[in-house]
Amino acid sequence: MMIEHLREVDSTNRYIRRYLAGGEDALVTALRQTGGMGTKGRSFLSEEGGVFLSKLTFYRDRPAGTSFLVMTHAAVAVCRTAEEFGVRPEIKWPNDILVRGRKLCGILIENSIAGGMLHASIVGIGLNVANDVSALGGIAVTLCEAAERTLSPESVRDRLIFQLSQEDDMQDYLSYVRFLGKQIDVTLQGERFVAVARRILPDGRLEIERDGVRQLLSAAEIRLMEQTNGGQR
């Protein structure tokens, strides 16, 4: 696998696309992004001090129906990296990595699918380490804050790259999901309601139960409703 470390780039996801024609797996990191990409067209704050990387992987004979496992692999790699530094993360469906209710990283997946087969994937990860996230109004947390010590972004980057090279499966992903069987706040097509999260299927759909009726969600905004000191988060 080709690895390239950059000081600054608009977006590692955009940059790594230049390697799509080569057919070789690649990984690109940057100290800073000027145009970081988030989900649903949002921007992603990417100031120096974080870990920003994209990994391009090519596949052979992999059905498109297994593409959710690309995302679970990235989420597990981030969680395992956080654990190496003494932090206990959890996953909020589908791929938000939280520490005590605050977001530790962003994950953006771009899959190339043709003829019912997964041809390639670009996995973009922005992991907060020592960067300033105060502009996000308290919804984000850095690994340094969560670990309560100073950490080198380079050391975290290297451990994340290592974890991305390891094997895992759906059960590893589910081991970090701690809201199943509990109430969640769901926003779906402009409607907001409370339901019980039941299970996550291998294709990534979330099964919920609302007023005794089970429903499968492919995409929705959810908020965890765990009680914390008499309140909710």
Residue 223 burial (10 A CB sphere; 0-12, 13-18, 19+): middle
Q: Please give the Cα distance from 135 to 122 (Å, whole number).
A: 28
pTM: 0.91
**Residue range(s) occupied by CATH 3.30.930.10 in the chain:** 2-174
What architecture (CATH level 2) is domain 2-174?
A: 2-Layer Sandwich (3.30)
Q: Would you write out the chain's pLDDT as a tens digit for each of its 233 residues?
A: 999 999 999 999 999 999 999 999 999 999 999 877 655 555 566 789 999 999 999 999 999 999 999 999 999 999 999 999 999 999 999 999 999 999 999 999 999 999 999 999 999 999 999 999 988 888 999 999 999 999 999 999 999 999 999 999 999 999 999 999 999 999 999 999 999 999 999 999 999 999 999 999 999 999 998 643 333 34
Q: Which are the contacts of 189, defined by CB distance < 8 A and separation ≥ 6?
A: none
Q: Please give the Cα distance from 224 to 96 (Å, whole number).
A: 11
**Residue range(s) occupied by CATH 2.30.30.100 in the chain:** 183-232
Residue 24 burial (10 A CB sphere; 0-12, 13-18, 19+): exposed
Measured between its terminal Cα atoms, the distance across the chain in Å is 41
What architecture (CATH level 2) is domain 183-232?
A: Roll (2.30)
